[in-house]
Structure 1
Amino acid sequence: MTNHSPYAADPEAHGPREWGGKTAGERRGPRSAFQRDRDRIIHSMSFRRLKSKTQVFIAPDGDHYRTRLTHSLEVAQIGRVIARALGLDEDLTEALCLAHDLGHPPFGHAGEAALSQAMERHGGFCHNAQALRTVMRIECPYPAHDGLNLTWDLLEGLAKHNGPVIAPNWELAELDAAFPLMLGTWPSLEAQVAAVADDIAYDNHDIDDGLRAGFLQLDDLLTLDFLADQWRAVEKRFPDAPRERLLREMVRDQIGLMVNDVLEHTAAQVKGLRSVAEVREAGRQLAGFSPAMTEQERRLKAFMYERLYYHPEQVAAAERARNVVARLFAAYSQDARLMPDDWQARLPRHEPQRSRMIADFIAGMSDRFAMQACSAIYGERPAGLVNV
């Protein structure tokens, strides 16, 4: 038992698993329930495929650009630091961080946009809901049941990655009906920490990748006063260091500033709480940025959308990526024989279930596999998808 705070999730008192209650599969060694959750995620095929899924740059040639896998690992590192400092369960926090992007289709948000459009008449598509569907229904390594059979605490945290869900889409509604997750309430502090760790990681690491790719310029970044303050402090500490090292130091400093802000603000918010139940009964977000940091982070996101995510080269590559996913969906919808035998055998005959399973198949693809599949069907490899 590593928990220290009374409001931390307790691996000895965790919620049930969907299949077999609390004790399902918990006879292998000394691991806690949340350690088992984490390990099941790490050993899943969906997690391995994250190594070839877009984070910011589509199918990058460079070895040093982040993918969904490296991003998830960085989120987990930040999440564990925050969880440890607050006396939360590190294993549950880490598991949530590692699993939060399992529902992302190939080509990141461009692929999601294409699937959303293709699925418009069949309930739509949402990568957050797809992450839950992945671990509960699509990943099937066990002979007795579907899914990874994770704890209620883990599934609840995934479902509420962005907070309470008032109007669940078809995926969340189906899963919640089968295994109720109290969608309308705030989740555990571990889940809230995983969400803010995600923000900290991509806010800052996307700066790092954008600078490396030449899509962002330092002078433009320094129009944000809080980043300018970090840069001047770094220059003062290391006046003779190469510029590249100073840039990376600035990113590290900004991460540290955000982490410390979360720790200070969250500690004040949870003061006096005595249980996990009181966390949920608070009816509001407890783990997160202070109001001042929230405003800075909002300004940073607006800058990143304008200068990086909507950069003309990014927009052009995203359009080509959307075309790949749209063509795959159209092809499989017209001729299911193009899908692997095991997917064909399970494909429902009627809508919307048929299209939803086709979306499951495409969402699980890596960037590389999606391009290969499109090439095999249409006779030409998609061009212009490497933008760095």
Structure 2
Amino acid sequence: MSVHAPWASHPARSKGRLHEEQNATVPHLPRGPRDVFQRDRDRIIHSISFRRLRHKTQVFMAPDGDHFRVRLTHSLEVAQIGRTIARALGLNEDLTEALCLAHDIGHPPFGHAGEAALTTALAGQGGFDHNGHTLRALMTIEAPYPRWTGLNLSWEMLEGLAKHNGPVTAPGWALAEADAALPLDLTRWPSLEAQVAAIADDIAYDNHDIDDGLRAGLLTLDQLLDVPIVARIWRDVRDRFPDVPPTRLIGELIRTQIGEMVADLIAETRARIAGAGVGSVDDVRGAGRCLVGFSDAMREEERVLKRFMYAQLYHHPRQLAAATIAEGIVGGLFAAYRADPTRMPDGWAARLPADEPQRSRHIADFIAGMTDRYAIGRYREIVGPIDLPEGF
């Protein structure tokens, strides 16, 4: 795809990779016709970490139903939304897609419940942060190449993953280690592609989690209609399809809501770019503020929707009960492996550092890579039986 906007990231002007790579036939050129950001995307897709997302929690932990979203399907939906926005703004679609696909790779099993358990387990060793762990997984833990560890992603890719939520002034230990290996200019804003990936994530889960919540019976349409943006769009959908049963219109509601958010975002971002007078990606980094975002009206509507989703879905009593069990699984695994590291697979046990904090962080690395079902199986194997709630 040709990049037209001067403020877009351009593969020919990439700041490169940590390790120099050479083509066997033409030195310093990549294999085949792919550019640097296309190769980043493909490395994510082919990685073990990305494949594991198919069995990691999005909203529901190890769900019984085949139709619920998991981290993998969520990441694909984020990538679709991100590419649409990037194309409209003249940005680099490949870098945007790669960032969207990789943004959740650092999540441990059971999502935020698993992260809370690892944060507690590593309280004396620097804690755990899923965003920092994304960099750690892609730069240190993945090892598909013969001459270095990590996927050797481009500077722009790593910068975008490190800062997709904005500048970082106090990085945790994992992000600080990544920055020490390849300085990522943490205190400035990232590229527009990274900013798009961050808000595409919000748009995806704001809307698709509604679908999953309704499917699970934890949300009702009547509850949702108390949310202004949902009520407004539902009226439009019913006016357009007056003879269609409401149950057949949920998909149209979600599609229309996504469409309104994306259209608002594109219009507002174009205005911000014009107002900031940026003429290059470096101008974007030095703009001092986020240039990708909703209008004031849409931002407030989206905030109200988020508050509703936290109150009614993410903090639903069934969800909180499942989270308590999940934290117990992850915490129990950490304690068991800490007491007897030989219970880890041979490769992980053989690489176990002798000293802290590296020793505990290594154990956390192993657990963070687990899928939900693998963690449940290992807990039952080395800790003991566990009673999971129905639908877990």
Q: Same fold (TM over 0.5)?
A: yes
- Compared with structure 1, are the counterparts of its residues 112 and 385 closer, same or farther at alpha carbon in structure 2 (3 Å cutoff)? farther
Structure 2 residues without counterparts, runs of 5 or longer: none
Where does 1:156-175 land on structure 2 (aligned, <5 Å)?
156-175=159-178
Q: Is 1:101 aligned to residue 95 of structure 2?
A: no
Which of 323, 333, 336 is the equivalent residue of 1:331? 336
Which of 103, 120, 124 is the equivalent residue of 1:121? 124
Which of 385, 388, 392 is the equivalent residue of 1:384? 388
Partner of 2:312: 307
Partner of 1:197: 200
**Contact 1:314/1:387 (<8 A) preserved:** no
Q: Deviations over 1:15-42 (max 9, x none)?
A: 1101117989853110110000000000
Give, in angstroms, the shift of residue 319 of structure 1. Answer: 0.3
**Contact 2:53/2:371 (<8 A) preserved:** yes
| Cα distance in structure 2, aligned partners of 1:379 and 1:279 | 53
| Cα distance in structure 2, aligned partners of 1:54 and 1:2 | 36
Which of 237, 241, 258 is the equivalent residue of 1:238? 241
Give, in angstroms, the shift of residue 245 of structure 1. Answer: 2.1
Partner of 1:9: 9
Q: Deviations over 1:251-279 (max 9, x none)?
A: 11110010001100000111242111111
Which amino acid is the alignment partner of residue 257 of structure 2? Q
Give, in angstroms, the shift of residue 375 of structure 1. Answer: 0.9
| Cα distance in structure 1, aligned partners of 2:51 and 2:86 | 25
Give, in angstroms, the shift of residue 68 of structure 1. Answer: 0.1
Q: Is 1:289 aligned to residue 294 of structure 2?
A: yes
How many pairs were matched up? 387
Q: Deviations over 1:74-123 (max 9, x none)?
A: 00000000000000000000000000000000001110110011111000
| Cα distance in structure 2, aligned partners of 1:123 and 1:273 | 38
| Cα distance in structure 2, aligned partners of 1:350 and 1:385 | 38
Which of 264, 269, 279 is the equivalent residue of 1:266? 269
**Contact 1:5/1:86 (<8 A) preserved:** yes
Partner of 2:82: 79
The alignment partner of 2:365 has SS state of: helix
Percentage identity across paired residues of the two chains? 63
**Contact 2:336/2:383 (<8 A) preserved:** no
| Cα distance in structure 2, aligned partners of 1:141 and 1:385 | 38
| Cα distance in structure 2, aligned partners of 1:258 and 1:133 | 32
- Compared with structure 1, are the counterparts of its residues 317 and 26 closer, same or farther at alpha carbon in structure 2 (3 Å cutoff)? farther
Q: Deviations over 1:281-314 (max 9, x none)?
A: 1110001111211111111111001000000000
Q: Deviations over 1:210-233 (max 9, x none)?
A: 011110111111111221111111
Which of 122, 136, 146 is the equivalent residue of 2:149? 146
**Contact 2:333/2:383 (<8 A) preserved:** no
Q: Deviations over 1:175-234 (max 9, x none)?
A: 111110000000000000000000000000001100111101111111112211111111
- TM-score (normalizing by structure 1): 0.97
Which amino acid is the alignment partner of residue 19 of structure 2? W
Partner of 1:216: 219
Give, in angstroms, the shift of residue 378 of structure 1. Answer: 2.2
Give, in angstroms, the shift of residue 169 of structure 1. Answer: 0.5
**Contact 1:53/1:366 (<8 A) preserved:** yes
Give, in angstroms, the shift of residue 383 of structure 1. Answer: 2.2
Structure 1 residues without counterparts, runs of 5 or longer: none
The alignment partner of 2:218 has SS state of: coil
| Cα distance in structure 2, aligned partners of 1:300 and 1:100 | 22
**Contact 2:352/2:359 (<8 A) preserved:** yes
| Cα distance in structure 1, aligned partners of 2:362 and 2:112 | 20
Q: Is 1:53 aligned to residue 50 of structure 2?
A: no
The alignment partner of 1:91 has SS state of: helix
Q: Deviations over 1:104-163 (max 9, x none)?
A: 000011101100111110000000110111111011100100100000000000001211
Give, in angstroms, the shift of residue 386 of structure 1. Answer: 5.1
Which amino acid is the alignment partner of residue 276 of structure 1? V
**Contact 1:142/1:148 (<8 A) preserved:** yes
| Cα distance in structure 1, aligned partners of 2:383 and 2:282 | 54
Which amino acid is the alignment partner of residue 387 of structure 2? A
**Contact 1:15/1:22 (<8 A) preserved:** no
Which amino acid is the alignment partner of residue 228 of structure 2? D
RMSD: 1.3
Structure 1 runs of 4+ with >4 Å offset: 21-26
Partner of 2:283: 278
Q: Is 1:319 aligned to residue 316 of structure 2?
A: no
